[in-house]
Structure 1
Amino acid sequence: MTTIHLHQTTTASPEQVLAGLTDFGPGREEIFGNSADSYLKVHHEGPHDADVTEGSSGIWERLHYDWTDPHRVRMTTTDSNLWGGESGHTYTLTQQPSGMTDVDAVVVRDGKNLKGRMLAAVLSLFGTRVLGKQFKKSVEAIEARNGGVSGKNPPA
């Protein structure tokens, strides 16, 4: 099992980040490069949870999203062609006194078959760098759709 910790600071508010994380409409792949629209299937969407299949490049997973706490989004893997066990994602959104928002993500990859275990091993070595680049792009895309610029201080 591989656990990857990611962090990004953004001018987007926690509410704006939450809205980006839980927008399952067309164009999701513009925010999340690892979630191709052709894989996206929303099985259920409620006011504080969703059941969604997403993926790309031959890798897919069905996730149960839970955002009953608006500052934490838990995505639990319920089915996948590679991931099982404890796999999933947790995003924690913390607004700073400066107005910036810290976005912390924990990604757990527990391979359920040989291919999944091999990819989890690769992610243990390179996951922070590889997933970190995509995570940064996702946060920047959420910020851009809300008129902000990543890594900059908000206007005074």
Structure 2
Amino acid sequence: MSTIHLHQTTTATPQQFLDALTDFGPERSTLFGNSADDYLQVYDRGPTEADVTEGSGGVWERLHYDWSDPRRVVMTTTDSNVFGGHSGHTYTLTPMPDGTTDIDAVVVREGKNLKGRVLGAVLGTVGKRVLAKAFAKTVTAIEARNASDQTAHQR
């Protein structure tokens, strides 16, 4: 089992980041590179939770999203072709006095078969750089989305 800790500071508010994280629309892949549109399937979505399958590159997982605490989003893997056990993601969003938001992400990968165990081991070592780069791209894309939304509202 691999546990990967990631951190970013963003100009997005916690609410803006939460809105992006829980937007399961057709352009999700522009924000989250590991969530290809052709894998995306929303089974249920309520005001503080969702049941969604997403993935890319032959790896998919069904996740239960819980944002009943809007500063802590817990995504629990309920099914996957490679991950099981305690797999999932937790995002903690902390507003800072300067108006930025600290985002702490914890990704747990527990393989349920050989492919999952190998992927988990790779992600826990050299793959952390790849995940960190993807996370930084996501944060940048969310900031750009919020900037264009703000520009549109000012017109």
Q: Please give the TM-score of this superposition, normalised by the length of structure 1.
A: 0.93
- Aligned CA RMSD, in angstroms, stands at 0.8
1:118-129 matched pairs, under 5 angstroms: 118-129=118-129
Instruction: String of CA shifts for 1:48-97, please: whole Å, max 9, x gaps.
Output: 00000000010000000000000010000000000000000000000000
Q: What are structure 1's unaligned runs of at least 5 residues?
A: 149-156
User: Structure 1 stretches (4+) deviating beyond 3 angstroms?
Assistant: none
Number of equivalences: 148
Instruction: String of CA shifts for 1:96-131, please: whole Å, max 9, x gaps.
Output: 000000011000000000010011111121132010
Name the CA distance, whole Å, in 2 between partners of 1:33 and 1:14. 20
Name the CA distance, whole Å, in 2 between partners of 1:21 and 1:143. 12
Structure 2 match to 1:146: 146
Name the CA distance, whole Å, in 2 between partners of 1:72 and 1:11. 18
Name the CA distance, whole Å, in 2 between partners of 1:6 and 1:54. 20
Which residue identity lines up with residue 138 of structure 1 in the other structure?
T
Structure 1 match to 2:24: 24
Contact 1:4 1:127 in 2 (8 A): no
Structure 2 match to 1:154: none
Structure 2 match to 1:7: 7
**Aligned-residue identity in percent:** 70
More helix by share: 2
Q: What are structure 2's unaligned runs of at least 5 residues?
A: 149-155
Name the CA distance, whole Å, in 2 between partners of 1:26 and 1:34. 14
Which residue identity lines up with residue 67 of structure 1 in the other structure?
W
Whose RCO is larger (CA < 8 A, sep 6+)?
1
For the residue of structure 1 that corresponds to 2:147, the secondary structure is coil
Name the CA distance, whole Å, in 2 between partners of 1:111 and 1:67. 25
Name the CA distance, whole Å, in 2 between partners of 1:124 and 1:71. 25
Structure 2 match to 1:152: none
Name the CA distance, whole Å, in 2 between partners of 1:123 and 1:36. 19
Which residue identity lines up with residue 8 of structure 2 in the other structure?
Q
